Structure 1
Amino acid sequence: MTTIFRLDSSIRTEGSVSRAVADTLENAIIEAEGNDTRVTRRDLAADPVPTDAWATAAFAGHTPEDERTPEQQAAAALATQLADEVGAADVLIIGAPLYNFGVSQHLKTWFDLLITDPRFAGGAQTVKDKPAFLVIARGGGYGEGTPRAGWDHATGWLRRILEDVWGLDLDVIETELTLAEVTPQMAELRDLARAQLAESHEVARTSGRSVTLKLRNAA
């Protein structure tokens, strides 16, 4: 049985591009792997990680277990739960919209708390070489030659953690101009935005189907 861990961080539940592309990817993997595929979901919009959990768990890590406060015990237990979810997965899907040119607060909190668990701290590579997908959505255009080229401070950081720190076999699916349909000033970009979105869904379908080969090679 194949286990997918899926993390969504868009604050939109309806109309979210990162969620929609992740849906296409997830469905393609399930279709390729079979109906016994299990999906573990964590939705950071519906069930955010408490903002104080990271600091509490970090201090708990330097406190003997029998001396921890109830708050430290709870934060450490939540970090363990997050680590269990990720560590048990065969494939990871992480949806990450760009907010205010960076990683959203609730996604960063999830990463920070997870890294307090020894399985994901420092150079530990518990999930090394596992296939993973980072589904990026950006409301505007950030490519070379655009006025905001270089303003995306999220994707590089996410790749650093997922690829270089955790050693995942990472594919990145990026969609830009996601706000064109609802922003009058971007009306002339709508055809381009639709084309980019269609391409992202096709990449997700193709990538989902091909993950079976990666899983077999790793077995």
Structure 2
Amino acid sequence: MTLLRIDASIQGPRSASSALADLVVDEFTAHRSGEQIRTRHLGVDPLPSELWATAVGAGFTPEADRTPEQADAVARVRELADELASADAVVLALPLYNWGVSQHVKTWIDLVIAGAPQGAQLLDGTPTVLIVTRGGAYGPGTPKEGWDHSIDYLRRIVGEVWGADLTVIERELTLARVNPAMAGLVELADTMKESAEQAAREAGRTLADRVQREADAA
């Protein structure tokens, strides 16, 4: 059994999304210590954005006529799609940047789609934990309501296009303790952090329980 973890933060050890992903994976491995964990960090090792155009162009080129660069691009995007499709469980830690998904995440999504058969649900029924963190607040009644262009897009791609059995964990106000203008929101931010951490631990246990049930049924 393989759990695939994808991170995308550019914050290194300060990353709120990676910290929540750590809790999910730690709880999972506490119950399923023998399972394989595969990782890809899009923020640390970003995928080349130019690969997408090359791979798409190769799709309209007969295989025998493809350049070496096109052949390499096709192989790489297929590898990314296969990596996702072969996972038995997935954890995605994808923070919001500039009101949307980061360039790293968008590139990854485009490359995966380019490497998959058209219309393929790569995560058909696969238990998937999607973690989204936001530095500010974007809920109803907030000044930035409607500015979050990340979560609906990710739900559409991961849950509908790829068909994942999706669990979403969201945490807002992650910058409350570092932005003086948000000092009045620290208490609320701490409550949100605690709730997200609890949800992450529960998600890790749920993944482990599901793997155990599937193993027992095999």
With the shorter chain as reference, the TM-score category is: over 0.9
**For each residue in 1:93-146, what CA deviation from the matched residue of structure 2 results, as whole angstroms up to 9, or x when unmatched?**
111111110111110000001101234x3x211321110011000000001111
CA distance in 1, matches of 2:175, 2:116: 39
**For each residue in 1:18-64, what CA deviation from the matched residue of structure 2 results, as whole angstroms up to 9, or x when unmatched?**
0000000011111122x211111111111111010111111111212
1:57 aligns with 2:18: no
CA distance in 2, matches of 1:52, 1:23: 31
CA distance in 1, matches of 2:21, 2:198: 11
CA distance in 2, matches of 1:126, 1:144: 33
User: Which residue identity is paired with 1:92?
Assistant: V
Runs of 4 or more, structure 1, over 2 Å off, are: 212-219
Task: Note if contact 1:83-1:117 (Cα within 8 Å) is conserved in structure 2.
Answer: yes
Deviates more, 1:11-20 or 1:77-86: 77-86
For residue 15 of structure 1, what is the aligned residue in structure 2? 14
CA distance in 2, matches of 1:76, 1:187: 49
User: Which residue identity is paired with 1:12?
Assistant: Q
For residue 43 of structure 1, what is the aligned residue in structure 2? 41
For residue 4 of structure 1, what is the aligned residue in structure 2? 3
- Equivalent pairs counted in the alignment come to 215
User: Which residue identity is paired with 1:131?
Assistant: P
CA distance in 2, matches of 1:50, 1:74: 13
CA distance in 1, matches of 2:115, 2:124: 16
Map residues 105-120 of structure 1 onto 2, 5 A cutoff.
Answer: 105-119=103-117
Q: Report the Cα offset of residue 80 of structure 1.
A: 1.5
Task: Note if contact 1:9-1:106 (Cα within 8 Å) is conserved in structure 2.
Answer: yes
Map residues 150-189 of structure 1 onto 2, 5 A cutoff.
Answer: 150-189=146-185
For residue 24 of structure 2, what is the aligned residue in structure 1? 25
For residue 72 of structure 1, what is the aligned residue in structure 2? 70
For residue 124 of structure 2, what is the aligned residue in structure 1? 128
RMSD (CA atoms): 1.3
1:195 aligns with 2:191: yes
Query: Runs of 5+ in structure 1 lacking a partner?
Result: none
Query: Runs of 5+ in structure 2 lacking a partner?
Result: none
State TM-score, norm by structure 1.
0.94
CA distance in 2, matches of 1:98, 1:28: 24
For residue 91 of structure 2, what is the aligned residue in structure 1? 93
For residue 212 of structure 1, what is the aligned residue in structure 2? 208
CA distance in 2, matches of 1:111, 1:156: 15
State TM-score, norm by structure 2.
0.94
Q: Report the Cα offset of residue 213 of structure 1.
A: 3.5
User: Which residue identity is paired with 1:14?
Assistant: P
CA distance in 2, matches of 1:138, 1:126: 27
Task: Note if contact 1:97-1:138 (Cα within 8 Å) is conserved in structure 2.
Answer: yes
**Percent of aligned pairs with the same amino acid:** 47
Question: SS where residue 116 of structure 1 aligns?
Answer: helix
Question: SS where residue 203 of structure 2 aligns?
Answer: helix
User: Which residue identity is paired with 1:31?
Assistant: A
